[in-house]
């Protein structure tokens, strides 16, 4: 196929080279952004007297027609076109004639693609934020439901101290809040308009970059034309924020997988988010959670790939940069898909409080509380710690727990221990006594629930 850029060369490229060079297979996803940018550009050219008003009207109408036809399916993307920018421009010229050839005045594909990608990712990131809010709400609901469900909190995956289920869910809420604001930070930093940077050095035409920046919803134009066309920091920042979301989802997945196992049995995932086995009739597998955990790897990989692609590039544009899109598009689609499955999976999950309580009862997770009890009665904490350790070892040998060890035996170890010890080490007391700010005690949990629901209300009002 004869190229639009034929001239310096014959434009007669090898068919295999064409396929290799083409990006139309993935950058056609940005056709709306491409057209939106072109209309804003043409409007600016007309306002600056570079195009006539009639020429602008003709271009804008032609571009709108292409957008409508692509959206309705009347016009199909030509896989032979090199990229979406060339495709739109050539269809435009076919449709409106010579005027179509004026659209690319004072512009290059270098600033055009940089613009399209920013517009596209800005939109997509807002969608990811909305999906995050849905997951945050679902997790908050489970926190509310689990305010008095006591279970062991773990360190090293060993039973550690009693917590309420709400506290664990709220920990995830905190992560999702950070994910949400992290995306917001990246959006604010990337919201500068590269259009008008042209190939790399700006242009000889009297353009008005502030006008296009404003029309396209940017804070301002990028300040430096070389940076405008070379910068892909936003792919890195968003890619990293997406990788962090996936890391959070993956940790949550891991817990759901463990908790829904026969061994734990703390939660049960709804049938809608599980699968069966083709051979073992008894199975209920947490495939969705496993897949989310698995997909985390490719989102990390996309980030690493883009960082590596950029590291050796001299300024300004290099074709290597075409590789940015598949990576970040894949991350966007993966994160959206994972959030979309995760929110309803969390919302419909059932808690098995009895199993949680049972696990909390037998793990000596009130040992710290017994040491605190002795310390309150005057024994130095480190001494109390040692005494309780010996008591635990003793109980394990005899198949007892601290709650069932007779008072006489406690008193033989320390006369500081009285009848009130049983109340002091009951799981309910252990939780209620965790009064420190941010702890698993009821006041703290209540404050966290309030704060998360305020976060959601504010984010939704924005």
Number of residues that bind ligand ARG (CB under 6 A): 10
Cα-based distances in Å from 108 to 58, 155, 201, 392: 21, 56, 11, 74
Element (H, E) at 127: helix 109-145
DSSP letter for each residue of 278-329: SS-TT--B-HHHHHHHHHHHHHHHHHHHHHHHHHTPPSS--GGGGHHHHHHH
Of residues 96-135, those binding ligand ARG (CB under 6 A) = 109-110, 113
> Does 231 engage in binding with ligand ARG (CB under 6 A)?
no
Catalytic residue among 10, 72, 156, 278: 156
Strand pairing of 192-193 and 220-221?
A: parallel
> Does 27 engage in binding with ligand ARG (CB under 6 A)?
yes
> Does 364 engage in binding with ligand ARG (CB under 6 A)?
no
Q: How far is the CB of 236 from ligand ARG (least distance, A)?
A: 16
Q: How far is the CB of 157 from ligand ARG (least distance, A)?
A: 46
Between CA 295 and CA 59 the distance in angstroms is 43
Q: Any catalytic annotation for residue 104?
A: no
CB atoms within 10 A of CB 291: 14
Q: Any catalytic annotation for residue 436?
A: no
Between CA 25 and CA 29 the distance in angstroms is 9
**Cα 284 to chain center, whole Å?**
28
Catalytic residue among 261, 277, 436, 451: 277
> Does 168 engage in binding with ligand ARG (CB under 6 A)?
no
Stretch that binds ligand ARG, among 209-217, 275-283, 304-312, 319-327 (CB under 6 A): 319-327
Region of 152 on the Ramachandran plot (φ > 0 left; ψ -120 to 50 alpha; else beta): beta
> Does 179 engage in binding with ligand ARG (CB under 6 A)?
no
> Does 373 engage in binding with ligand ARG (CB under 6 A)?
no
Q: How far is the CB of 101 from ligand ARG (least distance, A)?
A: 18
Going through 39-157 in order, the beta strands assigned E by DSSP cover: 150-155
> Does 429 engage in binding with ligand ARG (CB under 6 A)?
no
Contact with ligand ARG (CB under 6 A) among 23, 230, 368, 448: 23
Q: How far is the CB of 17 from ligand ARG (least distance, A)?
A: 14
Contact with ligand ARG (CB under 6 A) among 321, 374, 388, 405: 321
> Does 322 engage in binding with ligand ARG (CB under 6 A)?
yes
Provide the β-strand partners of residue 158. 155
Stretch that binds ligand ARG, among 118-126, 314-322, 352-360, 366-374 (CB under 6 A): 314-322
Cα-based distances in Å from 308 to 315, 322, 324, 325: 15, 13, 11, 14
> Does 225 engage in binding with ligand ARG (CB under 6 A)?
no
SS3 content of the chain, % helix, strand, coil (to 5): 65, 5, 30
> Does 328 engage in binding with ligand ARG (CB under 6 A)?
no
> Does 34 engage in binding with ligand ARG (CB under 6 A)?
no
Residues that bind ligand ARG (CB under 6 A): 23, 27, 83, 109-110, 113, 317, 319, 321-322
Residues involved in catalysis? 156, 277
């Amino acid at each position: 196929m004869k190229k639009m850029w034929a001239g310096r060369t014959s434009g007669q490229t090898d068919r295999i080279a064409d396929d290799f060079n083409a990006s139309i297979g993935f950058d056609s996803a940005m056709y709306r952004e491409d057209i939106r940018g072109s209309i804003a550009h043409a409007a600016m050219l007309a306002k600056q007297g570079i195009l006539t008003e009639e020429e602008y009207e003709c271009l804008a109408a032609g571009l709108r027609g292409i957008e409508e036809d692509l959206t309705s399916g009347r016009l199909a993307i030509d896989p032979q076109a090199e990229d979406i920018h060339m495709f739109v421009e050539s269809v435009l010229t076919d449709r409106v004639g010579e005027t179509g050839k004026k659209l690319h005045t004072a512009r290059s594909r270098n600033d055009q693609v940089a613009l399209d990608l920013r517009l596209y990712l800005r939109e997509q990131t807002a969608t990811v934020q909305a999906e995050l809010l849905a997951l945050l709400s679902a997790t908050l609901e489970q926190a509310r439901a689990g305010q008095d469900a006591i279970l062991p909190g773990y360190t090293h995956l060993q039973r550690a101290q009693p917590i309420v289920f709400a506290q664990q869910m709220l920990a995830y809420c905190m992560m999702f809040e950070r994910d949400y604001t992290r995306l917001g930070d990246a959006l604010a930093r990337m919201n500068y308009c590269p259009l008008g940077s042209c190939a790399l050095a700006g242009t000889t035409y009297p353009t008005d970059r502030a006008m296009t920046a404003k029309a396209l919803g940017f804070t301002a134009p990028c300040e430096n034309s070389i940076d405008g066309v070379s910068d892909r920091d936003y792919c890195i920042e968003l890619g990293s924020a997406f990788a962090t979301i996936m890391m959070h989802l993956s940790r949550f997945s891991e817990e759901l997988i463990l908790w829904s196992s026969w061994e734990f049995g703390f939660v049960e995932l709804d049938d809608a988010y599980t699968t069966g086995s083709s051979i073992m009739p008894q199975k209920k597998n947490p495939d969705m959670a496993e897949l989310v955990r698995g997909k985390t790897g490719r989102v990390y990989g996309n980030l690493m790939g883009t960082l590596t692609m950029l590291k050796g590039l001299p300024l300004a544009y290099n074709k290597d940069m075409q590789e940015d899109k598949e990576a970040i598009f894949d991350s966007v689609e993966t994160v959206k898909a994972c959030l979309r499955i995760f929110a309803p999976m969390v919302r419909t999950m059932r808690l098995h409080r009895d199993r949680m309580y049972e696990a909390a009862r037998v793990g000596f997770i009130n040992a710290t509380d017994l040491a605190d009890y002795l310390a309150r009665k005057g024994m130095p904490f480190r001494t109390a710690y040692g005494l309780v350790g010996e008591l635990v070892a003793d109980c394990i040998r005899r198949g007892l727990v601290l709650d069932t060890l007779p008072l006489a035996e406690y008193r033989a170890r320390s006369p500081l221990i009285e009848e009130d010890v049983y109340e002091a080490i009951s799981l309910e007391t252990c939780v209620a006594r965790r009064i420190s700010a941010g702890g698993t005690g009821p006041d703290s949990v209540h404050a966290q629930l309030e704060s998360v629901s305020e976060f959601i209300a504010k984010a939704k009002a924005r």
